Amino acid sequence: MASEQPQGGDRWVFGYGSLMWRPGFPFIDRRTAVLHGRRRAFCIYSVHHRGTYDRPGLVLGLAPGGAVRGVAYRVAESAWPEVYAYLREREQPTETYFEAWSKLRIDGNGEVPALVFLSDRKHGQWAGALTLEQQAQLIAGARGLSGPNIDYLRDLVGHLREDGVRDHAMEALLKMVEGLEG
């Protein structure tokens, strides 16, 4: 799964959560991509973007196992230093992820190395494998600097549908959270 960071040239970045619909950086290509060996999961306690230390929410991470469909962005070599600095600030406010260069299968491009933010299972914000009910309890009512936790879940489900992906577990989770929030 791990690969070498490209030396020079354009670079790819993988998004499996909010980077899919709100990258926030300039890119020259956007493609559907699959990362093998990891799966999308609400496995990170959020104390910054979607919760607080007093009332943590949950955000997505890449848990071991399976495969995840997301989006790969090709970033021009000239823009890379600025984009990389932006991604570090956005994705690492509490260092809950570690960076890796992993091979992605990109529609129309075969396999390419891409920057991926993987969940650090040794970090204190690692929530691990929670039931849907536990996830719903944590997401319902949580709010952080980026807004209500439920909005993040709604955005995820909506954008997955737009990309032709039906994630039945995420859809069931959204129904549970909506029920808890009334």
- The whole-number mean pLDDT for each consecutive block of 10 residues of the chain, a chain of 182 residues, reads 66 92 94 92 90 95 90 95 89 72 87 88 85 96 95 94 86 96 88
User: Strand, coil or helix: what is 174?
Assistant: helix
Q: What is residue 166's predicted lDDT score, i.e. its pLDDT? A: 83
Give the residue from 131, 147, 132 showing the smallest Cα distance to 179: 132
Domain assignment present for 56: yes
pLDDT at 129: 84
Does residue 172 lie in a domain region?
A: no
Whole-prediction pTM: 0.84
Domain assignment present for residue 103? The answer is yes
* Active-site choice (4, 77, 82, 91): 91
For position 173, what pLDDT does the model report? 96
Q: Are 35 and 14 in contact (CB under 8 A)?
A: yes
| Nearest-angstrom CA–CA distance, 41 and 62 | 6
Q: CB 176: neighbour CB atoms within 10 A?
A: 18
pLDDT computed for residue 92 by the predictor: 66
Residue with tokens 């890796």: 100
Handedness of CA 129, 167, 87, 91 (dihedral sign): negative
Q: What is the pLDDT of residue 163?
A: 81
Q: Any idea what the CATH number is for the domain that residue 20 is in?
A: 3.10.490.10
Does residue 49 fall inside a structural domain?
A: yes
Extract the tokens encoding 22: 């709100």
Please give the helix or strand (H or E) that residue 139 lies within, else none: helix 132-139
Residue 167 is assigned to a structural domain of this protein: no
Our count of domains for the chain comes to: 1
What residues make up the domain containing 90? 11-129
List the structure tokens of 133.
Answer: 């009910």
What local confidence, expressed as pLDDT, does residue 126 receive?
Answer: 83
The answer to whether residue 157 is domain-embedded is no
pLDDT of amino acid 119 = 81
CA pair distance 43, 109, nearest whole angstrom: 30
pLDDT of res. 73: 96
pLDDT of residue 94: 59
Q: Is 91 a catalytic residue?
A: yes
Please check whether residue 30 is in contact with residue 72, taking contact to mean a CB–CB distance below 8 angstroms.
Answer: yes
Residue 1 lies in a domain: no
Q: Distance between CA 101 and CA 115 in Å, rounded?
A: 5
- The pLDDT assigned to 170 comes to 92
